[in-house]
Amino acid sequence: MSQTLQAVRGMNDVLPDEAEIWETFEELVRDWLQRYGYRPLRTPVVEPTALFSRAIGEVTDIVEKEMYSFADALNGEKLTLRPEGTASCVRAAIQHKLVEGAGPQRLWYQGPMFRHERPQRGRYRQFHQIGVEALGFAGPDIDAEHIIMTAALWDDLGLEDVRLELNSLGAGEERAQHRAALVTYLEAHQDKLDEDSQRRLHANPLRILDSKNPALQDIVEAAPKLADYLGAESRAHFDGVQVLLKDAGIPYRINHRLVRGLDYYNRTVFEWVTDRLGAQGTVCGGGRYDGLVEQLGGKSLPAAGFAMGVERLLALWRESVGEMAPGELEIYVVHQGAAAQRLAFQVAEALRRDSLSVVVHCGGGSFKAQMKKADGSGALLALVIGEDEAAANEVGIKPLRLEGAQQQRVSLAALAETIENILYNDDDNDEGAGHGGV
Ligand code: HAM
């Protein structure tokens, strides 16, 4: 017997019970984005490798060790499965001259991202993000808008225990001054740095501040803080964000060590974090990236955005609101005999046109066996069509889950309205019969 094949490690199937919850979540998210005026953008899953190494930074975990990269078998072109969405979004905006044509853009995207990380709870090799990017906005207002809108989504979802961490990475020059001071400081402690940090000491010292190694915490804690190097404009920008957050009543903690794992950020960066999900507690992260558009070949253009991890958010949603009901099927049609089957198909199509969800039993079997399936389907009503009903152009209605609703047999003409009354208007149960039709 051949071995059964399994999904790739760290890449998950989302089975129907779970996928229905994803869909409910995605609907909510779509509504929420529309309320804030964001428009959808869809970009390819595969991009030139250079896009990510240039955007995210050569000396980052993502580019150094987590990208799924390969050479196109036909022309050798170096390609990568996208590890994030910002680079693609900026590439598309430059390529299609979105901002030049139509002015500043509020965009969003969703879809799978790929990072070759060590899989664990909340960390996968294929995971899903919903991301938001605002291109062409320079002020602190859009940074605040992003944080305020995420807080509103957590509220809509009833999420508990998510807290906001905030920092400013300043401007290039300020970071350069801070970096020089940081390197001098870290060089003085070089013998105590771990291998990763030694390697990053000159290439990307800021990332050492983000180290999770407990042995480095004292050194990191006492390191020069970027906040002490911010100039007046960066400070004013950061203050501007905080005023709007305070007005919105959103509590936050300034975390001087929050630097994010991608190199394109400047000024405001933020993360929403929870303790409810174990080690992988960051459900959303983002910030400003004023240099990225130019760095990728576009005109200089300020921008900011964020992305949330769908798997992590849904895990937290489940934690916060408890059991979730699977999607509800309204009608299951059982039938026996050739004429009954044909009628069942016609009736079901007509009811679907009335926006009802209807499953027609397939595969035959006794009425008893079919009714068992109807019950197991979770449907609210069964429609029963036997040879008698088919001959009389009638349908039996058997409520499966509705308190007080009566079993009855109705004409085709009365079916749609009777069902509607049973499902949505119990009081008028009998009045509808005789009107309308399928
Ligand atoms: P990021 O922090 O790398 O930022 O990812 C954003 C979110 O994606 C994380 O907060 C986390 O919830 C989720 N995530 C990341 N890696 C994994 C994984 N391996 N498994 C499960 N979930 C994961 C970005 O990607 C930026 N592009 C965000 C951004 C948009 N900044 C500006 N605009």
Residue pLDDT, tens place only, 251-310? 999 998 898 989 999 999 999 999 999 999 999 999 999 999 999 999 999 999 999 999
Region 137-153: mean pLDDT is 98
pLDDT confidence of 160, banded at 50, 70, 90? confident
CB atoms within 10 A of CB 377: 15
CA 25 / ligand 1 centre spacing (Å): 18
Which two structure tokens, joined as six digits, stand for 248? 């919105």
Which CA distances in Å does 353 have to 174, 346, 356, 416? Answer: 62, 11, 7, 11
Distance CA 415, CA 426 (A): 15
Q: Which CATH class is domain 331-433?
A: alpha beta
Lowest mean pLDDT among 42-56, 79-93, 250-264, 314-328: 314-328
Lowest mean pLDDT among 2-6, 234-238, 349-353: 2-6
Same fold, 16-171+231-321 and 331-433: no
Ligand 1 lining (C-beta closer than 6 Å): 84-86, 115, 117, 123-124, 127, 129, 131, 133, 261-262, 282-287, 289, 305-309, 311-312
State the closest ligand 1 atom to the C-alpha of 283, by its place in the atom list counted from 1.
12
User: Which of 312, 314, 316, 317 has most ligand 1 atoms within 8 Å of its beta carbon, as the pocket-test mutant?
Assistant: 312
CA 85 / ligand 1 centre spacing (Å): 9
Across 108-141, b (16+ Cβ under 10 Å) vs e yields bbbbebbbebeeeebbbbbbbbbbbbbbbbeebe
Which CATH code of 3.30.300.210, 3.30.565.10, 3.30.930.10, 3.40.50.970 fits the domain covering 16-171+231-321? Answer: 3.30.930.10
What is the residue extent of each domain of the chain? 16-171+231-321, 331-433
CA 259 / ligand 1 centre spacing (Å): 13
Nearest CA to ligand 1 atom 25: 84
Residue pLDDT, tens place only, 169-217? 999 899 989 999 999 999 999 999 998 898 888 888 888 887 888 989 9
Asked if residue 427 has pLDDT above 70, the reply is no
CA 73 / ligand 1 centre spacing (Å): 30
Instruction: Return the sign of the alpha-carbon dihedral for residues 123, 126, 131, 136.
Output: positive
Nearest CA to ligand 1 atom 8: 309
DSSP 412-423: HHHHHHHHHHHH
Which two structure tokens, joined as six digits, stand for 277? 């999900």
CA 108 / ligand 1 centre spacing (Å): 14
Which CA distances in Å does 15 have to 8, 12, 21, 345, 377? Answer: 16, 9, 10, 28, 16
Region 101-119: mean pLDDT is 96
